[in-house]
Amino acid sequence: MSRKNRVLRIFEESGVVKNTNYHYQFWQHKNHPILLEDHSMLEQRMTYIHENPLRAGFVTSPEQWWYSSTVDYYVKDGKGLLDIVSLY
């Protein structure tokens, strides 16, 4: 099974659970804001976000996730697909 089909299947399975979705669910329907009080908290949260595709099994390295800013932050002279504004 291709990566695209595997990811779509996961989104579709998540979308079936909620009656507000038509086909797929990409984002969770809940949030809990966290105040980032210092640089270490910011770095911890960015690492968590960058490692999500790895934990989900979509990639074998965080830098492989196309739509991540991981490359911009952690690869020397790296440039991801999207322009970002560096936070530090």
Q: Any idea where the domains of the chain sit in the sequence?
A: 1-31, 33-88
What one-letter code names the amino acid at 72? Answer: D
Predicted local distance difference test score (pLDDT) of residue 78: 84
Q: Is the pLDDT of residue 22 over 70?
A: no
Q: Is the pLDDT of residue 14 over 80?
A: no
Q: How far is CA 28 from CA 32, 47, 59, in A?
A: 11, 19, 20
Answer whether 0.75 is exceeded by the pTM: no
Task: Give the pLDDT mean for 36-56.
Answer: 91
Q: Is the pLDDT of residue 68 over 90?
A: no
Nearest to 25 by CA among 40, 9, 45: 9
